[in-house]
Structure 1
Amino acid sequence: MSLQGSLRNAVGSVPRKIARDAADRYLANAVDSQLAQQRTLRRVVALNAGSDLSRDLRLDELRTVDELKSRPVSSFDAFQPYVRRVLQGELGAMLGPKNQLLMFSQSSGTTADSKFIPVTKPFITDYRAGWQIWGIRALDSYPAISLGSILQLSSDHDRFRSEGGIPCGNISGLVAKLQNPLVRTMYCVPRIVAKIRDPELKTYVTLRLALADSNVRLVATANPSTLIQLAKAADRNAERLIRDIYDGTCWGAAALPSAVGRRLAWRMSRPDTARARKLEAIFRATDGLAPKYIWPQLQLVGVWTGGCAGMYLPELRELYGPLPIRDHGLHASEGRMTIPLDDNRSDGLLDVGSHVFEFIPEREYESEQPTTLQPHELEVGQDYYILLTTASGLTRYDICDVVRCTGFLGTTPLLEFRHKGAHISNITGEKLTESQAVEAVGHASRRLGIDVGQFSIAPAWGDPPGYRLVLEGGTAVEKTLPIAVDTALQRLNTEYRDKRQSGRLTTLQAETLPPGTWRRFARRRQDDTGASVEQYKHPFLSPDFRFIERIRASAAGALAIDPEFPRPHVGPAEVSA
């Protein structure tokens, strides 16, 4: 054991005991989820008592979780007027006097506007506690992690300030800022790197720092596509990275923000010839710098594994090795929902001590008065939409996540993420909405003077994956149309723009189908669901990777048996960015 490892183990024994005690309490809460949820409701109501939102919804009157059902289920749009006032500094619009606001977490919204989620001190305390439980359970499963380094990727929590002077950015950055200083010494990439705005430069600096460390034991970030892109960037920049490590330099250092450059100078200005020669040998022997070779003592990978994220896992294992993977847990800017307990599973235990949770059966989601269930009322094998009531002021908030109950611990369900709701698509974290798809196509078609007609946007797997704009062959499709739609989507959705610019999503492409395909597709959908013509809703956005396959089947069926359809070529129109 190294001297650093010995000191870390000695000094870290107290924080580890605190974290284990928290994990024990977390598991104890699971025994009686109803009692835990009742306590959570009282705490959340008290935190925001007296706010305008609390008065408008009469939340101060709530005494039981059952009484919460009389308040409306809401999308984020319902909270926007209150959030706008908080952004301007009117904290009492949404928060109680003792509920200290720390930041706004910015993410893509259901309209052209970004969502700004208030993050308060009690909220982040619960959020961090979840990560501490995840971390201590991982450390206890793989004690060798404590003898090495951790590569964890995060973003800046203070990208800009609101009108009221509140930091706005990514919640992962705030979690990093508040970490125990001792724990922070385990990270091979300092959190200041999150301040680098240019995606290519940020990736390169991350690799410059991480590759210089031969003792990385844990790699963690939310989306597996991020780790795949990181590994591919290491291959592309291998010779330059090895030279920088050998010389004690860093490509692009002159373009770094001055504060970032000063903080990183001591780390990157020391030549490490031995490490550089080792990396060069790996590069020559394997024709790349795959993580499985450059970090041979890697113990565990922590990423999302549910929903679309699961499709990345084969490539992730090819690059990082046949390692155990522990799900990151279901979490978002609005809150942490689950904490996984085991490796190589996509489910986790519902965090009943952090938020109040309600569930709508998926089959009832579109009904006027859907059933809402408490955690203990779920059924194994059934899918549900999840509602959140949080310490940051959101009440019965429909986050549009569909989860499946896989079992119970005590009376608390184990849940796995299935997909975003019917009108949201999410491949790499972009959370593209149907309203954004409609607005982007409308804007592009008006600008180009093209009559698009009926269309859909759907995900398509690839390396990297992306989206297809599905159109009938009668539409005047120009090469410029998909590019114009892609540009509009980047303007409307900041997460989509970030994923496009970092290469995690490829440019939008067009898929042309025979005239009449949409009519036949609608007829099949009505036959399958028993819906009337009036009830049919055209899917302008589909989250389903099988959607294009199904629409192609409709096209093939139309060509085969319907004589009114002509037989044009069916296939994607390749579009270069």
Structure 2
Amino acid sequence: MLFPATSTASPRHTRTEDFTSRTLSALRRQRKLCHDPAPTSELVLQDLLDQARSTSFGRAHGLGFAATLADWKSALPIRAYEDFRPYVERQLAGEAKVLTRSAPYAFLKTSGSSGDPKYVPTTRHWRERYRGRGLYAQWGLYFEQIGAARLTAEHILDLSWEHTPATRSLHGFPVYSISRRPAAVGPEDWVPPWYDAPWLRGDDEEEYADSLYRKLRLLAGADIRLAVTLNPSKIVGLAEQLALRGPELVDEVARGTVCGRPANGVAADPGLARQLDRTLARRSAGLRLTDLWPRLSVVVCWNSASAGLYRDWLDDVTPGIRKLPFSTTGTEGIVTIPVDDHPSAGPLAADQGVFEFVPCREDDDGGPLDPAAETLDPHELETGHSYRLVMSQANGLYRYDVGDVYTVLGRVGALPRLEFAGRAGFGSSFTGEKLTEIHVYEAVRAACANALGMLPLFTCIPSWGTPPGYVLAMECGPHLSAAEREAFTAAAETALQSCNPEYAEKRRSGRLRPLRLLPLAPKSFLAIAEAQRRQGAAAMQIKHHWIQRDDTLLSVIDDLGLPLHA
């Protein structure tokens, strides 16, 4: 049977060996799917039709008469989230059977390209039958890689989510991000042996750096073999906290405290404290993760698009340790699940939804796809080509224009191996903030109205670091005083947080540093365009963008001597 019956019973915490066996079985199922996806894809389609037919959405689109994938495509236009927003608002208002037969129990919050947050309905049906089972499969790969026979819960550091109470609500529904989950919905949901571990528990009021340090302290002396996260910046941040607060950690290990206070189940360990102290005495740069966990052997995180820019830093803080990719997963659904040791890409998760693809155009500005655009099915994709994703999942987002671009790196059996290439159009996302040109443009425009009264030429440049952040390069001239620049930067930072909740959350938690202003001399961008022309760029290729894909422009600005020095 492809899908187990949905249950709302309390999650059952199994023994570690039973859990490990379950994940390895899920991995075998996922590998088998790669070689014969058609039967599963058909079952998924029929399940989506069953969820949609009796809803107001389904009746409005004639889904009662749909039976095939061709019927599905013919009945439903491709939609961006803004087209779904009225339906979601009806769900939030309490109306039943709007998008899905199964009722939402919570809404996942993420950034929208318009500046308004997106609220993705999440049902028990979707959580247990799709997302939960997908997580078991990918973890089966990680356990296989470290040797399942030796696995215990004490060998795992899971940074991919936190067991956090829901502290926010909207119209009575819990609202939280995908990485903060209050509770499992039943036994088929993702319920690992470390589900109730103290280090997994999150707190909305806790500073991001303090949260990382607390995990280090609680796991000091543990035999960690596997560290799993979504963003590589979290592993880098963990290493940075250990290097900065090593002496504090050694003192707390000796005294048996956690963040300055006694903690249940945490005892003093003078022997470990002496060992770490001797290491500190030898190494001025501070403790490393492998000092704390000598048998750490696998690190899992995203390794593509902008996350791939962390590879050198990741290798520096975890030298000699193998890297595996986390599934390509977002608030709206899982797209790929790794089944082998490829460093950055996995096969399409054909059991998670109905997936369609639109070939990328060179002039794609990230705007909504044509509702009637022709789409390709997974077996029609070509290696080396990039495509925009159209996804249908059992959460009610049907033929959803995700706005993400994937590149085909080959095939795993009959399924394409996909690497996430980034958002369509220009944008940036270090830690899931998904900053777009619209966000930056609206923030700068608002700040200029308050502080400058004009809109100068500018661009936003991602700047790598620990933590990373953004540099706003802007023509402003020598007449602008230092105080006026400071006021403008503060206004732009406030406006950016207002229009992008994910950016605001990452700033609040310390995962992004504050926006920095790089004042440029007048006509600087003209000089940049001229330099590009001299290097052979065609006039049609020289375009001004409000946000850059990487930090290359910082070097160009410096080489041309454009920064304005007051």
TM range (shorter): 0.7 to 0.9
Q: Encode CA deviations 1:233-275: one digit per residue, 9 max, x unaligned.
A: 122222222222222222265xxxxxxxxxx93134x222222
Structure 1 length-normalised TM: 0.84
Give 2:56's aligned residue.
52
Verify the 8 A CA contact 1:150 1:187 in the aligned structure 2.
Answer: no
Give 1:209's aligned residue.
218
Q: Encode CA deviations 1:334-358: one digit per residue, 9 max, x unaligned.
A: 1111111233510101100111111
Report the CA distance between 1:58 and its aligned residue. 3.4
Give 1:257's aligned residue.
none
Give 2:241's aligned residue.
233
- What secondary structure, in the 3-state scheme, does the structure 1 residue paired with 2:97 have? helix
Distance 1:473 1:216, change over 3 A: same
Given residue 431 of structure 2, which amino acid in structure 1 is its aligned partner? T
Give 1:256's aligned residue.
none
Q: Separation in 1 of the partners of 2:204 and 2:445?
A: 35
- What secondary structure, in the 3-state scheme, does the structure 1 residue paired with 2:225 have? strand
- What secondary structure, in the 3-state scheme, does the structure 2 residue paired with 1:103 have? strand
- Kindly indicate whether residue 438 of structure 2 is the aligned counterpart of residue 435 of structure 1: yes
Verify the 8 A CA contact 1:19 1:133 in the aligned structure 2.
Answer: yes
- What secondary structure, in the 3-state scheme, does the structure 1 residue paired with 2:201 have? helix
Give 2:23's aligned residue.
19
Q: Separation in 2 of the partners of 1:304 and 1:570?
A: 35
Given residue 511 of structure 1, which amino acid in structure 2 is its aligned partner? L
Distance 1:89 1:467, change over 3 A: same
Report the CA distance between 1:140 and its aligned residue. 1.8
Give 1:260's aligned residue.
none
Which ranges of structure 2 fall in alignment gaps of 5 or more residues? 1-13
Verify the 8 A CA contact 1:510 1:573 in the aligned structure 2.
Answer: no
Report the CA distance between 1:91 and its aligned residue. 3.8
Verify the 8 A CA contact 1:193 1:206 in the aligned structure 2.
Answer: no
- Of 282, 297, 312, which residue of structure 1 is paired with 2:295? 297
Report the CA distance between 1:224 and its aligned residue. 0.6
Q: Separation in 1 of the partners of 2:135 and 2:313?
A: 26
- Kindly indicate whether residue 507 of structure 2 is the aligned counterpart of residue 500 of structure 1: yes
Q: Separation in 1 of the partners of 2:434 and 2:32?
A: 34
- Of 546, 562, 565, which residue of structure 2 is paired with 1:570? 562
- Of 256, 259, 267, which residue of structure 2 is paired with 1:251? 259
Distance 1:183 1:52, change over 3 A: same
Which ranges of structure 1 fall in alignment gaps of 5 or more residues? 1-9, 254-263, 557-568
Give 1:560's aligned residue.
none
Given residue 571 of structure 1, which amino acid in structure 2 is its aligned partner? P
Give 2:449's aligned residue.
446
Distance 1:11 1:226, change over 3 A: closer
Q: Separation in 2 of the partners of 1:173 and 1:117?
A: 14
Q: Write out aligned runs for 1:141-540 (5 A).
A: 141-143=145-147, 146-147=151-152, 148-153=154-159, 154-155=161-162, 158-174=165-181, 177=184, 183-185=192-194, 189-194=198-203, 196-211=205-220, 213-251=221-259, 265-268=263-266, 270-287=267-284, 288-343=286-341, 345-363=343-361, 365=364, 368=370, 370-474=373-477, 477=480, 478-518=485-525, 538-540=544-546
Distance 1:93 1:552, change over 3 A: farther
Give 1:5's aligned residue.
none
Report the CA distance between 1:184 and its aligned residue. 1.9
Given residue 361 of structure 1, which amino acid in structure 2 is its aligned partner? P
Report the CA distance between 1:219 and its aligned residue. 0.7
Distance 1:279 1:54, change over 3 A: farther
Report the CA distance between 1:82 and its aligned residue. 1.6
- Of 119, 123, 133, which residue of structure 1 is paired with 2:126? 123
Give 1:64's aligned residue.
68
Give 2:9's aligned residue.
none
Distance 1:166 1:529, change over 3 A: farther
Q: Separation in 1 of the partners of 2:447 and 2:356?
A: 39
Give 1:40's aligned residue.
44
Q: Encode CA deviations 1:524-576: one digit per residue, 9 max, x unaligned.
A: 79x967759xxx975222334435556778xx5xxxxxxxxxxxx512779xx
Worse-superposed segment, 500-509 or 187-196: 187-196
Give 1:564's aligned residue.
none
Report the CA distance between 1:493 and its aligned residue. 1.9
Q: Encode CA deviations 1:83-131: one digit per residue, 9 max, x unaligned.
A: 22222332422221xx242322111222332221112122222112122
Verify the 8 A CA contact 2:478 2:521 in the aligned structure 1.
Answer: no
- What secondary structure, in the 3-state scheme, does the structure 2 residue paired with 1:234 have? helix
Distance 1:161 1:196, change over 3 A: closer
Report the CA distance between 1:195 and its aligned residue. 5.3
- What secondary structure, in the 3-state scheme, does the structure 1 residue paired with 2:162 have? coil
Verify the 8 A CA contact 1:308 1:427 in the aligned structure 2.
Answer: yes
Q: Encode CA deviations 1:42-71: one digit per residue, 9 max, x unaligned.
A: 111212332222233434433222333332
Q: Separation in 2 of the partners of 1:88 and 1:428?
A: 31
Distance 1:13 1:201, change over 3 A: closer
Q: Separation in 2 of the partners of 1:143 and 1:410?
A: 25
Distance 1:128 1:421, change over 3 A: same
Q: Separation in 1 of the partners of 2:23 and 2:136?
A: 6
Choose between structure 1 and 2 for higher RCO, CA contacts under 8 A separated by at least 6 residues.
2
Give 1:4's aligned residue.
none
Give 1:261's aligned residue.
none
Verify the 8 A CA contact 1:100 1:120 in the aligned structure 2.
Answer: yes
Whichever structure has more helix as a proportion of its residues is 1
- What secondary structure, in the 3-state scheme, does the structure 1 residue paired with 2:219 have? helix
Q: Encode CA deviations 1:259-307: one digit per residue, 9 max, x unaligned.
A: xxxxx93134x22222222222222222312102110011211111011
Verify the 8 A CA contact 2:24 2:144 in the aligned structure 1.
Answer: no
Q: Encode CA deviations 1:190-235: one digit per residue, 9 max, x unaligned.
A: 4333455433432332222122x33111111100101111111122
Structure 2 length-normalised TM: 0.85
Distance 1:573 1:219, change over 3 A: farther
- What secondary structure, in the 3-state scheme, does the structure 1 residue paired with 2:467 have? coil
Verify the 8 A CA contact 2:409 2:419 in the aligned structure 1.
Answer: yes
Identity in percent: 29
Distance 1:152 1:18, change over 3 A: closer
Worse-superposed segment, 236-245 or 471-480: 471-480
Distance 1:549 1:237, change over 3 A: closer
Q: Separation in 2 of the partners of 1:47 and 1:550?
A: 53
The CA RMSD measured in Å over matched residues stands at 3.1
- What secondary structure, in the 3-state scheme, does the structure 1 residue paired with 2:151 have? helix
Report the CA distance between 1:384 and its aligned residue. 0.9
Distance 1:340 1:448, change over 3 A: same
Verify the 8 A CA contact 2:162 2:201 in the aligned structure 1.
Answer: no
Distance 1:283 1:521, change over 3 A: closer
Distance 1:530 1:359, change over 3 A: farther
